[in-house]
């Protein structure tokens, strides 16, 4: 298990970004396998499978990895917690504990020198995907997730993080054959990866800023569609404890709608709301910046950078 040790580089003391290209081979192979549809063809069933797996697993990422494991914005049973982790990990984005630990670190140091995937600090491609192959980010820092690490089943999934995607891929193959595997599973996985990654990269560069947060987070309506609500990223960085990231009625948030429906049936509970004061602040800022004019982004003082 990737327990933190002195030998593992913690994000707190991480070195300059570097890439372990050997570790990127599986990532590249999955992209190439998605092209297998050129030879297998695409069936209607494979197209439906691709769409269903994209949106179901995107919910696992947004409603599971992000809003539950990283920010604990709602509560659920231990059984559904495990199912959320399993669903999220079918996206092949490593373990839920690994994901949550890195994301919590991101919020503490967002767009500052210690941020592990900031496009402001390290450029677009590193923030979008290359940080995944940096040996300094491979370990799970359990000290950041003591609330989650106490569950042995989550630690098991985190250690054997490839079991869920392998099980899903096998089930698709035996159900829908080669077209289902290559288009339904592999192609949807590639789409899912890059859809998720846009929140690290593009949503800190393109979009409007309602709140004067200490980072470059932006609200982007298009990314909110691609990621089922995660595109309201400036809202999220203003109050990350809210279950809902589309703070206002016109900010569509499919992930929140699903969680709200699940709460009706008692599957989840205690969905955390946005404080009225923050909603009022957002309305005021909208009046001050009617065209969504960008607010000056965070820039660390020279002394702070030198002491990082």
**pTM for the whole structure:** 0.87
Tell whether 2 is covered by a domain.
no
Which pLDDT score is estimated for 131? Answer: 87
Which pLDDT score is estimated for 15? Answer: 55
Q: Do 211 and 235 contact (CB within 8 A), yes or no?
A: yes
Q: What span, in angstroms and rounded, lies between the C-alpha atoms of 138 and 32?
A: 23
What is the pLDDT averaged over residues 291-306?
A: 37
Tell whether 264 is covered by a domain.
yes
Which pLDDT score is estimated for 16? Answer: 67
As a three-state string, the secondary structure of the chain is CCCCCCCCCCHHHCCCCCCCHHHHHHHHHHHHHHCCHHHHCCCHHHHHHHHHHHHHHHHHHHHHHHHHHHCCCCEECHHHHHHHHHHHHCCCCCCHHHHHHHHHHHHHCCCCCCCCCCHHHHCHHHHHCHHHHCHHHCCCCHHHCHHHHCCHHHHHHHHCCCHHHHHHHHHHHHHHHHHHHHHHHHHHHHHHHHHHHCCCCHHHCCCECCCCCCCCCCECHHHHHHCCCCCEHHHHHHCCCCCCCCCCCCCCCHHHHHHHHHHHCCCEECCCCCCHHHHHHHHHHHHHCCCCCCCCCCCCCHHHHHCC
Tell whether 106 is covered by a domain.
yes
Q: Which residue has the tokens 């989840």?
A: 268
Tell whether 276 is covered by a domain.
yes
Tell whether 108 is covered by a domain.
yes
∠ at Cα 206 (252, 130), nearest 5°? 105
**pLDDT tens digits for 114-141?**
888 888 888 889 889 988 998 888 899 9
Instruction: Categorize the per-residue pLDDT at 298 as very low, low, confident or very high, splitting at 50, 70 and 90.
Output: very low
**pLDDT tens digits for 16-63?**
677 778 878 999 999 999 999 999 999 999 999 999 999 999 999 999
- Structural domain including 244 reads 20-298
Task: Say how many domains are in the chain.
Answer: 1
Tell whether 119 is covered by a domain.
yes
Tell whether 5 is covered by a domain.
no
Which pLDDT score is estimated for 18? Answer: 76
Tell whether 231 is covered by a domain.
yes
Which pLDDT score is estimated for 297? Answer: 40
Instruction: Categorize the per-residue pLDDT at 238 as very low, low, confident or very high, splitting at 50, 70 and 90.
Output: very high
């Amino acid at each position: 298990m990737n327990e933190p040790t002195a030998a593992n580089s913690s994000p707190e003391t991480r070195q300059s970004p570097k890439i372990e290209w050997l570790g990127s081979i599986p990532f590249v192979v999955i992209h190439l396998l998605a092209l297998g549809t050129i030879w297998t063809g695409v069936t209607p069933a494979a197209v439906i499978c691709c769409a269903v797996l994209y949106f179901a697993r995107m919910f696992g990422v947004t409603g599971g990895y992000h809003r539950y494991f990283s920010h604990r914005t709602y509560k659920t049973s231990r059984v559904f917690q495990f199912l959320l982790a399993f669903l999220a990990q079918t996206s092949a984005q490593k373990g839920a504990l690994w994901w949550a630990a890195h994301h919590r670190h991101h919020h503490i140091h967002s767009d500052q020198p210690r941020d592990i995937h900031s496009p402001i600090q390290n450029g677009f491609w590193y923030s979008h995907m290359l940080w995944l192959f940096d040996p300094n980010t491979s370990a799970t820092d359990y000290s950041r997730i003591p609330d989650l690490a106490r569950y042995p089943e989550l630690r098991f999934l985190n250690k054997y993080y490839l079991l869920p995607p392998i099980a899903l891929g096998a089930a698709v193959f035996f159900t829908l054959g080669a077209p289902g595997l290559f288009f339904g599973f592999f192609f949807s996985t590639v789409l899912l990866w890059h859809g998720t990654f846009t929140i690290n990269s593009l949503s800190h560069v393109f979009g409007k800023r309602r709140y004067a947060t200490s980072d470059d987070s932006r609200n982007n309506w298009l990314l909110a569609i691609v990621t089922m609500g995660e595109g309201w990223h400036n809202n999220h960085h203003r109050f990350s404890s809210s279950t809902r990231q589309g703070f206002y009625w016109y900010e569509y948030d499919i992930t929140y709608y699903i969680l709200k429906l699940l709460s009706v049936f008692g599957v989840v509970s205690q969905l955390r709301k946005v404080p009225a004061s923050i909603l009022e602040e957002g309305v005021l800022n909208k009046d001050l910046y009617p065209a969504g004019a960008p607010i000056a982004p965070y820039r660390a003082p020279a002394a702070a950078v030198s002491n990082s």
